[in-house]
Structures are given as C-alpha cells and as structure tokens.
Structure 1
C-alpha cells in the first residue's frame, strides 16, 4: 500500500481552492433560487453528476454495482444524504446562505458525539468536550435576537437556522453510517454514485410535491447548474478523493475549517447579505469548537509539552 505524504504547497493550494468551491455552493444555490428552487437544483445536479461519476467506478472482480451487500447500505446512505440536502434547500428559503454555510459545518461535532456512543475507541476526551461546549455556545449566540414574536422575518430566519443545524446533524449521521457500515470497504466512487443517484431519485419527487419543480432557464440558472454539476459535484469531489489517496487525511481536514469562512464571504459578495455582530462572534466560537474537537490529539500534545516545560522551569 502506497504511503500517504504530508501536506506540501500543492496540496495546500488545492485544499484552499476546494474550500472556496464548497463555501460558494450555498450562495450560488440561493442566487439562482428565483429561477430554479434550491431543492430542484440539488436534485438535477445530483442526477447529472452521478452519470459523470459512473465511468470512474472500479469494482473488484466478481462484484457488481448493485450487489446486495452494498446496495441496501447504499440506499440507506442515499436517503440520509438526500435528507441532508433537503434540509439545506429548505433552510436557504428562510435564512441567509452565510448562516447555512456555518451551521452546516457543525457536522464534525455531531460525528464526535455519535461515535462516542457507538465505538469505545472513539470516547471523547476532556479537550473534545470543551470543544463541544464552545461550538454549542457559538450556536446559541448566533441564534440570539432571532425568533422575536413582533418580527415575522426574524422568526423565519430562526426556523431556517434550525433547519441548517439539522442538516449538519444529518451530514454527521451519514458519516457515521458510512464509517460503521459495509460501504466503508467500497470504492469511493461507488459510494459517491449511490449518494448522488439516490439524491436525484428522492429529491425530484419531493420538489414536485412541494411545488418547487418549475424551472426558468435563465443565464443565472444555467450558470448555477454548470457550477454545481461540473465543479461542485464532479471536479471538487474527484479532486478530494485524489488528495485523500496521496496525502494524510488529518492534514487535509484542517483546511475544511476555511469553508464556512468562504461561505460568509460569498454570501456577502454575491447576495449582499448583512452579517450580525452576534453571528460573527458565534461563528468564531463554533469554528473554535469544531477545530478543538477535530484536532484534540494535536492540542493535547501541544498542551502536554507546554505543561512539561512549565514544570521544568519551576
């Protein structure tokens, strides 16, 4: 098995590019919403991207794409993936793209909590519990001032924020199911195909039933679809899997914390969104909490080394 490398300048540059792409997706979905609803955009992009991914699936000899041992877990994974993006699409109808970008990326906190209860080897450390406290404090702070009875728009925004937070939890459930299920052994392209194809199958009728299937093929709508199919769902995910094969995952994961920051930047730049002061401070706490949960081993080493030096000085 080829040994994975530590991060270099190439990997760092590509990860920053990926974070920009991932941070842009909510803003682009909302920008094109007057011509094509977010749920319909996600359904169509998923179906088209699934067709692009299909030729890249390389299965072991003697197995096929719809083998029973992978198909049933694949359907479950597709359902969770679809539920996540259904919540994202609905959240964008009520709250800002910036809020959705930040609250969606609370997923690592929920993953840590879920694995804590399922796997003895994944028990949370004291440092991680501190990170979870920071993250949920930031969420509470970002919700401050919303849901005022005298302000219907504020109540709608709070509802959208809650949906975005639930989307983060659903993303975490998808990750946990993948980690603990049979698909953890399957090729990455196969897993991605199940998610994308299932998202198209589940969300297309959901868009029709909710009256959000109408499409006006404007320049913005076409641009959004091209961005989501070719760049977001195909290029960025294939590049991500390529990076995972070549470089250490922990180093790559550090850069993912830039995604919500880019989400805020693009929300302001493309949609002229107003960012509340409490949301800025709340976001800082959320990101600090997520980084603490994810980098707890490194933090523990640094803290332990600092403590040893302090004792030695005394």
Structure 2
C-alpha cells in the first residue's frame, strides 16, 4: 500500500477510535487502581503488551533482536523513560481525576517542541507553534490553579506528577527522533519501551513497598485487560500502521481529540465533577495542539 497524501474516511474513523481508546485509558487506570497498586499495575500491563507485540512482530517476520543497528543504547534509554512516564501516570491517578489528568498529560507535544529547539535545530519552531504552546500553557495554569485554591486538597500532587509524565513522554519522543531508533521498524521501537518497563516496573513496585494485588475483582481485571490488549497492544500498533501510510502532520492534528474523550469519560463513567476550569483548560490545550499542528502555508 503506497503512502497517501491525505486522510481518507477509513483513516479518520480509525483515528477517532484510537483517540477514544487513549482517552478512556485514564478511567481504566483509576478503576484498576482500586485493586492493584499503580506501579505494579503499569508493570503487568507492559508484561502483557510485550508478549502481544512480540507475537505480532513474529507473525510478520519482523526481526526485533538484531542489535547491530545501533538501537540498543537509545532503546534502553527510551524504555527507562517510558517506565518512568507510566509509573508517574498510574501513581498520579491516585491523587487527581482522570478528566484533569488527561489534559495535563497531553501537554507532552509542547515539551517535544521545546526540546527540539536544542536537539533538532533543523526543525525550527514556527510562529503558530509558539502561539499553540502559549495557549496550552495558559490552560495548564487555569487547571492547576483550581486545585491550589482548594484548602487541604492534594490533587495538585497528581497534577504535577502528570506534568512530569508529559515531560518524560516528550523526552522519549526526542530520544527516538535523534537516535538510530528513528530508522528502526516501529515494532522494535515499541518493544524496547514495553520490555524495559516490563522488567523495571515490578522491581520499582517492590522497592516502593506497594501492597500489590489486594482486591482482584472482575472490574479490576477487566480494566487491566483493556489497557493491555486495547491500549498498549492494538492501539499502538494501529497508530504505527497509520504513521506508515498517511502524512504524520495530518495525523498529529487529531491528538486534541484524546483529552476531549478523556474529560467526557471521566465525567460519564466515574462521575467526576466537570467544572468550568476543566472545560476552559480543555479548550485552551485543544486549541493549542490544533494551532501548533497546522501545516505551514505554502
């Protein structure tokens, strides 16, 4: 299938489904946190997804074990950054709501843009990207400020953890872009992240003294299964397929849909309060992502 220059109906439909899955992910994490410690939960997710993605690569005869291509060192680094990112995400949702958390997490593209100023000077920032970043930053200030005004609340801890996770997500993306991983097949890049986190997160959980699996209900296991199969397995592979066959700039403009779905899922499925600052922040971050990803004229 030759690369396409525009998004057809199939691509648009698949993108909407993927954004919905990624938005609901925060709800699934909170539900599973009720029975499995957050860092261990992230580790179990990575273990299951590693098996699934490896099986997919094997079925397509993709060689993911040839380390002569210079990907080993950056792959291990990307894996450690990925592990840290998801340890923070899963832990943050013990403090903050899913609807707030997804907005903070999707500031990651702007950390990538800032890092690219130094690491990727050939990808110069356009004026629209700076405007988009300013809007998204304003959204974060609005949302973070709401929790600071609440007496005795600790949701701001989760908010900060989500911002740190977004920073690590951005660092992972930059690691891939500036290293040999940019030339590797997508399955191999994803497996580095999943496999390293599958090894690191259970040890981190033990070091933190987490209780582990303490209330294994059907809802808890179902939420973990959704994350493993639908999110870390199928949705990531679906995204990589889209990246191979459609323009990346057009695909990235859809990323603002994920926090929209995340906010709606938090309100509808968990009954989280959707306050005016949440919608203001959602609008500012979404507008910022859209403006920053608009293709340059001419």
Q: Which residue of 2 aligns with 1:250?
A: 249
Contact 1:131 1:290 in 2 (8 A): yes
CA distance in 2, matches of 1:31, 1:55: 28
State how far apart, in whole Å, the 2-side matches of 1:237 and 1:145 are.
33
Corresponding residue of 1:175: 173
The yes-or-no answer on 1:191 pairing with 2:183 is no
Ranges in structure 1 where 5+ consecutive residues have no aligned partner? 302-314
Higher mean C-alpha displacement, 198-207 vs 172-181? 198-207
The equivalent residue for 2:36 is: 36
- Are 2:112 and 1:111 equivalent residues in the alignment? yes
Aligned mates of 1:2, 1:10 — CA distance in 2: 15
Alignment correspondent of 1:140: 141
- Indicate the residue corresponding to 1:10 in structure 2: 10
Runs of at least 5 residues in structure 2 that lack an aligned partner in the other structure: none
Whole-angstrom distance in 1 between the partners of 2:226 and 2:234: 10
- Once the two structures are superposed, the pairs formed by residues 219-238 of structure 1 within 5 Å of their partners are 219-238=218-237
What is the distance in 2 between the residues matched to 1:294 and 1:116? 16
Displacement after TM superposition at 1:51 (Å): 1.1
Output the CA distance in 2 between the equivalents of 1:92 and 1:171: 17
1:205-244 CA deviation, whole Å, 9 max, x = no partner? 1112223252132101110121111111111111111222
| C-alpha separation in 2, matches of 1:262 and 1:95 | 17
Query: d(CA) in 2 for partners of 1:163 and 1:296?
Result: 32
The equivalent of 1:305 in structure 2 is none
| 8 Å CA contact retained: 2:139, 2:285 | yes
Residues 75 and 194 in structure 1, CA contact (< 8 A), matched pair in contact too: yes
**Matches of 1:275 and 1:237 in 2, distance apart?**
29
Contact 1:59/1:65, CA 8 A, preserved across alignment: no
Please say which of residues 16-25 and 272-281 is displaced more in the overlay: 272-281
1:198-217 to structure 2, matched below 5 A, reads 198-215=196-213, 216-217=215-216
* 1:127/1:296 contact within 8 Å kept: no
Q: Residue 48 of structure 1 corresponds to which residue in structure 2?
A: 48
TM-score (norm 1): 0.88
Q: 1: distance between equivalents of 2:47 and 2:211? A: 15
Report the Cα distance in structure 2 between the residues aligned to 1:177 and 1:225, rounded to whole angstroms.
28
CA positional deviation for 1:135: 1.2
In structure 1, C-alpha distance between the alignment counterparts of 2:77 and 2:17, rounded to whole Å: 31
SS in 2 for 1:152: coil
CA contact (8 A) 1:70 1:182 kept: yes
Instruction: Provide the rounded CA distance (Å) in 1 between the counterparts of 2:190 and 2:3.
Output: 24
- Is the contact between residue 32 and residue 224 of structure 2 (CA under 8 Å) also seen in structure 1? no
Alpha-carbon distance in structure 1 between the residues aligned to 2:70 and 2:116: 23
Which of the two has higher C-alpha Rg? Answer: 1
CA distance in 2, matches of 1:193, 1:65: 13
Q: 1:145 to 1:235 in 2, by over 3 A?
A: closer
Q: What is the DSSP-based 3-state SS (H/G/I as helix, E as strand, rest coil) of the residue aligned with 1:251?
A: helix
